[in-house]
Structures are given as C-alpha cells and as structure tokens.
Chains A and B, each alone.
Chain A
C-alpha cells in the first residue's frame, strides 16, 4: 500500500469520527441533509443524496453522511 492511500484511509476515518463528534453543531445547520466532509470541513450539502453526489468531484473518496435527529436502530 502506498503512503498516499494510507493517508487517504486515515483522513477518511478521521472525517467520519469528526461528523460523529460534531453532530450537535452540524444539526443546527444541516438537519435532514446529506453532507460531504473533507479534512474536517463540510464541503457540500444537499437534502438529496443524488444532488450531493452531483456536487462532488470525487464522491468515492469523500466522507458522506446524513445529518438527522431521527434515531435509527439497526439490527443487521
């Protein structure tokens, strides 16, 4: 694995953790929207996932999460 890929994986991981830790703040601005996060910053948002993807140059390498107050219990 090259260094760039390792960095990409760590940044991607950090961005998901950042969303989780900043959920209350994100809810104030992005409730019920999809957001894209890069390096701890929201780079795009949209109520519709397809709409968000159309705004991203590289969705396959971007942290994307839905911001909502609705709890979701998962039994997978």
Chain B
C-alpha cells in the first residue's frame, strides 16, 4: 500500500480527509518529522469550520509555534488518505492550535494564516515514510 505525496517547492505535502462528529473536510498537510503531533492550524480550522464544542483544551503545552497560542484536542477524528492499494483510514485524536489573531497586526495575521497544518510523527511513524526530494518522491508505505 502506497500513499503518494507531492512536493510544493521543496516541502512534502499529503492530502487527507478529516471527519469527526462535528466537521469534515480536506486538509493539505505538511509532512513534518519535527512535529510530534498532527496539528491543525488557524487557516484550516477556519476552512473546516471547526466548532468550539469540538475543541477540548489540551492538557499538554505546545512548544515550537511562535506567538500567543491556545492549544486544543479534537477527539476521535477519522483521517483518510488516498492510496494506490487498500483504503487507509486512521482514527486518532488531533491537535488544534489557534493564535490570538485579534491581538495581532494585519500583516502578522496574514503570515500566520499562511502557515500549513502539519502531519506529525503520530501519523508518519505508522508508515515507512520516504522523502527523496532529489528524485521527486514522497510517500507513505506499509
């Protein structure tokens, strides 16, 4: 089973479909081996229309994403990826990080909203992750 990603510039991305009891939609995730958790950032939280009742305040602090942020968990999210073989559906909790955009100047808000959501090691490590930029090959396999 192989899930193929794509490079945007030099960065590896995968398309996923998320579904929970509160929302569903498509997200373009940056594969980030430096992130321990798959995390939805501000723009995608807006696009998905994640309601406040879906967000459970996270008990663990998030370090690494700058500025003043609030972190949340969304329980029991189904993450689906398109593969060349069998279907791939993984059910797990996801993290959501929201910056306090109302307190920031417009140019800073614009930059934060450009940040992609990330596919962290909690998902990547379920697969054999290949990221070969020179060959244009990024994929998840198992």
Partners in one complex: yes
A binding-site residues for B, Cβ under 8 Å: 1, 5-6, 8-10, 12-13, 16-17, 20, 49-50, 53, 59-64, 66, 68, 72, 74, 76
Which of chain A's residues have a CB closer than 8 A to the CB of B127? none
CA of A8 to CA of B25, assembled, Å: 10
Q: A1-B89, A49-B113 are in contact. Are A61 and B25 (CB under 8 A)?
A: yes
On whether the beta carbons of A1 and B87 are closer than 8 Å, the reply is yes
Q: A5-B17, A9-B16 are in contact. Are A64 and B43 (CB under 8 A)?
A: yes
On whether the beta carbons of B48 and A60 are closer than 8 Å, the reply is yes
On whether the beta carbons of B65 and A76 are closer than 8 Å, the reply is yes
On whether the beta carbons of B115 and A1 are closer than 8 Å, the reply is no
On whether the beta carbons of B47 and A53 are closer than 8 Å, the reply is yes
Tell me if B46 counts as interface (CB < 8 A to partner A). yes
On whether the beta carbons of B114 and A8 are closer than 8 Å, the reply is no
- Tell me how many residues of B have a C-beta within 8 Å of chain A: 36
On whether the beta carbons of A66 and B110 are closer than 8 Å, the reply is yes
B binding-site residues for A, Cβ under 8 Å: 6, 8-9, 13, 15-17, 23-26, 28, 30, 32, 34-35, 43, 46-49, 64-65, 80-82, 87-89, 110-111, 113-116, 118
On whether the beta carbons of B118 and A60 are closer than 8 Å, the reply is no
On whether the beta carbons of A72 and B111 are closer than 8 Å, the reply is yes
Q: A12-B15, A53-B47, A59-B25 are in contact. List 13 more A-B contacts (CB 8 A).
A: A1-B82, A1-B87, A9-B17, A9-B81, A10-B15, A16-B13, A17-B8, A20-B9, A50-B46, A62-B47, A64-B47, A72-B114, A76-B34
Which of chain B's residues have a CB closer than 8 A to the CB of A74? 115-116
Name the residue of chain B whose CB is nearest to the CB of A20. B8
Q: A9-B16, A64-B43, A74-B115 are in contact. Are A59 and B35 (CB under 8 A)?
A: no
Q: A1-B88, A60-B26, A64-B47 are in contact. Are A76 and B35 (CB under 8 A)?
A: yes
CA of A13 to CA of B138, assembled, Å: 13
Expressed in whole angstroms, the minimum distance between the Cβ of A17 and any Cβ of chain B is: 5
